[in-house]
Amino acid sequence: MNERSRYKTRQRETLLAYCRTVSGSHFTAGDVCAYFRSQGTAISQSTVYRQLESMVDEGIINKYIIDGNSPACFEYVGADAHEGEVCFHCKCEKCGKLIHLHCDELEEIQSHLLKEHQFKLDPLRTVFYGICDQCR
């Protein structure tokens, strides 16, 4: 979200390139480290974590926690993800599939939460976890 001024470092660019190559699927911090180690273009683990955190803040990637003891999953959504209409996400806990929904009924949740519970929902960060059609 915050278009904070950032330095354009080799590590950041390389990480962004990686994100784009796996666009559409998810990856963990460990995946990233392992990949770079195998490539020779090493990036330290701390930098990976710090850059991933920054990108989550910026809204370039999403962070999912499927299970408390497994590593967090990240997914590239791109820099232009925050334009246009509201979109809800469902994430399957089994196959990891991410489903995008445009649904009036779900949008009512927002006004309900706001009116009845004084809570302003952020659909960009909210993810519905569950089990998808095929996995049941």
Q: Which residues bind a copy of itself (CB under 8 A)?
A: 65-68, 72, 90, 92-93, 99, 101, 103, 105-106, 109, 112-113, 116-122, 125-133, 136
Contact between 90 and 120 under an 8 Å Cβ cutoff? The reply is no
Residue 19 binding result from DNA, a copy of itself, none, given CB thresholds of 5 to 8 Å by partner type:
none
Distance from C-alpha of 38 to C-alpha of 33, rounded to nearest angstrom: 9
Helix (H, G, I), strand (E, B) or coil at 17: helix
Backbone angles phi, psi at 74, to 5 degrees: -115, 155
As measured in angstroms, the least distance from the Cβ of 44 to DNA is: 3
Helix (H) or strand (E) holding 28: strand 26-28
Binding residues with DNA: total (CB under 7 A): 26
| Interface of this chain with DNA, residues 25 to 84, rule: CB under 7 A | 28-30, 42-47, 49-51, 53-54, 68-72
